[in-house]
Amino acid sequence: MNISEKNTTTNGSSTGTFQDSRFLKFCRNCSTQTAMPENSPYAQLLRMGRDLLVAPDIDRLLSDAVDMLIGYSKAEKGIIALFGAKGELIFETARTLERADIANPELEICRCIVDEVKKTGKPLCSHNTTISEKVKQFSKFAAAPELDFICLPFVHNEVVFGLLYLEAHNSSEIFSSDKCFFIGSFADFISHAAFRALEHKQLSERVNELEMELRGKYEFEAIIGHDPKMIRILKLVSQIAATDATILIEGESGTGKELVARAIHYNSHRRDKPFVPVNCGGIPKHLLESELFGHVRGSFTGAISDKIGWFERAQGGTILLDEISEMSIDLQVRLLRVLQTGEYAKVGSTKISYCDARILAASSKRLRSLVDRGLFREEVFYRLNVIDIHLPPLRERKQDILILANHMLRYYAKKYRKPSLQLSAGAEHALMTYAFPGNVRELENAVQHAVVLAEGGLVERQHLPLNLLQESDGLTDGQSFSSFKSAKQKAVRAFESKYITDCLNVTNGNIRKAADLAGIDVKNFHMKIKQHGINALAFKEAT
């Protein structure tokens, strides 16, 4: 459909901006006085260029271009070739040429001409007598001096990325100066179109490659773990991924909540749509509503233009509301409507929008306890908690520590070009006896730290972070066990620290209640907190 067809109503009135533009009115006025002949070179160029613009891909574009040029010039044979960054042939389209002829241009095409144009970036034509002499040096063409040809380079940023070649015999010089000018003009158009199409194809291939890599990264096999707790979680994830059920993922920081959320998305029917993670704790509370739902211009100070929210960006895909416990009570009311009906409105707008996105939520705090304390809306909790996944901390899945560590070791050894790295017995023991309060994320940082410092093919104990070594009850650098007394002291310190932490966690940071729970005098409890460097305020929930 052309422009006039697209922008004219059934009664012939103009409806589109193209028809109403002064430029087209000017063109119509001119055309009534001096109409362009339908068979003129300019009219043909316009038609050919218009047809090429709608070519769906680069193969079709090159194929159509060769056909058009052969049809116009009456050439017998033609080829358009595109080259890669190293000069290798990556695309070719030919007419009346066999595949073997393309691979061996000297059989049908003057290899000298093609190589010369590819090398110099300058066009060649049979009217150039010097080139004609070069042509006649080939036995094939010595018997055919009537060969007529034209070879034009495609150049971008002074680099030849392709060329056009046309030839004919017994042609009485079919490539006249007028035709050469026209073919050159059209070849310039093809050059630009081919470069953009090639660039788009390469970009699309790269996007597909990254998408496949991303999907592979978040296959279930990427969630490494042999512990029975993790096996049960993986089985549950495989069962629920294909559904649209809302899922709540809970677990300490660093346990892999987003990894599980991505695995759910990339193994669902929404995998081809966006996965949008939103950290509710990382956005100021007064801005979170606008970030989630978007806003319209003028809805508040600073809203100078309309803004698309994360729910709109996740349309058709999956949105992860990470650290949802940080969301304010008021905003939870708006979220409840989305959970119930999928409806929402941008800030400052009365227009209702519908969100077709699967909602996943994640929290490092137990929402049930927040509900009991009035810090999280109960109805929102039940809407989110259709299916609950609780990720165990790394200290509760000890058998996975070395499996994860060796997997990370291979990854970072390859990244930092240190192949064949292995963990020493001392390093393994230090990892196995450390509590990992930062969970898998902390383990990954520790392994990366060790790989950077490692020399030779072995990761030694001393290559691990200092804080890990100070807390772990492992082997000494000399590979001999610590004394019984030293090991016992470390074990007692680790027990006290964990016990006090558990008491504070249960009482939400209330030291007096924690001391009563432990059966310890408050002063002694304060002393223990100070000895182990525990911050009691970290356990107090924000009101």
Query: Phi/psi at 320 (nearest 5 deg)?
Result: -105, 115
- Rounded average pLDDT over 140-154: 68
- Residue type at 104 in one-letter notation: N
pLDDT at 531: 74
| pLDDT interval class at 2 (50, 70, 90) | very low
- Rounded average pLDDT over 281-289: 89
- Rounded average pLDDT over 512-535: 83
Q: 124-125 and 148-156: which strand pairing?
A: antiparallel
Give per-residue burial for 23-59: e unless 16+ CB within 10 Å, then b: ebeeeeeeeeeeeeeeeeeeebbeebeeebeebeebe
Q: How far apart are CA 257 and CA 302, in angstroms?
A: 34
Extended beta strands in 368-437, E state: 387-391, 422-423
pLDDT higher for 18 or 290? 290
Q: How far apart are CA 130 and CA 126, in angstroms?
A: 9
| pLDDT interval class at 68 (50, 70, 90) | confident
| pLDDT interval class at 69 (50, 70, 90) | confident
| pLDDT interval class at 172 (50, 70, 90) | low
N residues, the chain: 543
The SS3 of residue 277 is strand
Distances (CA, A) of 248 to 145, 385, 386: 80, 5, 7
Q: Is pLDDT at 257 greater than 50 in this prediction?
A: yes
Domains and CATH numbers, the chain: 1-35 (no CATH), 39-203 (3.30.450.40), 220-392 (3.40.50.300), 395-482 (1.10.8.60), 485-539 (1.10.10)
Span 319-372, pLDDT tens digits = 999 999 999 999 999 999 999 999 999 999 999 999 999 999 999 999 999 999
User: Which residue has tokens 């300019």?
Assistant: 42
Distances (CA, A) of 536 to 264, 373, 528: 36, 18, 11
Q: Is pLDDT at 20 greater than 60 in this prediction?
A: no
Which spans in 11-123 are helix H?
17-20, 22-33, 41-53, 58-73, 99-103, 111-120
Q: Which of 311, 316, 224 is nearest to 268 (CA)?
A: 316
Q: How many CA atoms lie within 13 A of 529 on its CB side?
A: 24
Span 435-490, pLDDT tens digits = 898 999 999 999 999 999 988 888 999 999 988 887 765 444 433 445 565 667 77
Q: Is pLDDT at 101 greater than 80 in this prediction?
A: no
Q: 477 with 462: CB under 8 angstroms?
A: yes
| pLDDT interval class at 51 (50, 70, 90) | low
CA 323 to chain centre: 23
- Rounded average pLDDT over 58-70: 77
pLDDT at 207: 66
pLDDT at 104: 53
- Rounded average pLDDT over 119-130: 71
pLDDT at 174: 67
Q: How far apart are CA 385 and CA 271, in angstroms?
A: 22
pLDDT at 116: 77
Q: Is pLDDT at 226 greater than 60 in this prediction?
A: yes
pLDDT higher for 222 or 91? 91
DSSP 284-350: -HHHHHHHHH-B-TTSSTT--S-B--HHHHTTTSEEEEETGGGS-HHHHHHHHHHHHHSEEE-BT--
Q: How far apart are CA 411 and CA 414, in angstroms?
A: 5
pTM: 0.53
pLDDT higher for 462 or 214? 462
Q: Which residues pair with 318 in a beta bridge?
A: 275, 358
pLDDT at 41: 58
